[in-house]
Amino acid sequence: MATQVTWRAEDWLVEDVKFWANRRGISMNEFLTVLAKLGTDASYRPEGWEDVIAVLDRAGMLANPVTNAPRPIRDEKKFAEVRKRAGQGTPLSDIVIANREEGY
């Protein structure tokens, strides 16, 4: 099952992502997913993405098989505290609905 996320970005960046995704013949979602996988999974190197991989590598943004150690076990107590704080405030869905009603 996939989780849906919201991405906030400057208009120009969204247009650039649309352009490059379209140029590759894929959706924005697929494009962003590939970028996220490249940055987090050292074994993921899709065919046809060598140009992007080279740029990300030069920028130090690729997951590195040498340093890609397992994630540390999280502190469950701290995680519960952070999760509780994150669940406070106005839900994002309420903000989106309000903005749509206001014409944004």
pLDDT in tens, the chain (104 residues): 788 888 899 999 999 999 999 999 999 999 999 999 998 888 899 999 999 988 888 888 888 765 555 556 678 888 888 888 887 888 888 888 888 888 77
- pLDDT at res. 102: 82
pTM of the model: 0.59
User: Which residue's structure tokens are 């999280």?
Assistant: 74
Q: What is the pLDDT of residues 2-26, one digit of tens each?
A: 888 888 999 999 999 999 999 999 9
The pLDDT value recorded for residue 13 is 94
Amino acid letter for position 99:
N
Place of tokens 């740029």: 55
What is the reported pLDDT for 67? 57
Residue 81 in tokens: 């505290």
- Specify whether the CB–CB gap between 34 and 21 falls below 8 A: no
Main-chain phi, psi angles of 63, to 5 degrees: -65, 135
Residue 65 is predicted with a pLDDT of: 61
Helices and strands in the chain: count of H runs, count of E runs: 5, 0
Q: Is the distance from CB of 39 to CB of 62 less than 8 angstroms?
A: yes
Q: Which two tokens stand for residue 6?
A: 């919201």
What is the gyration radius of the CA atoms in the chain, in angstroms? Answer: 18
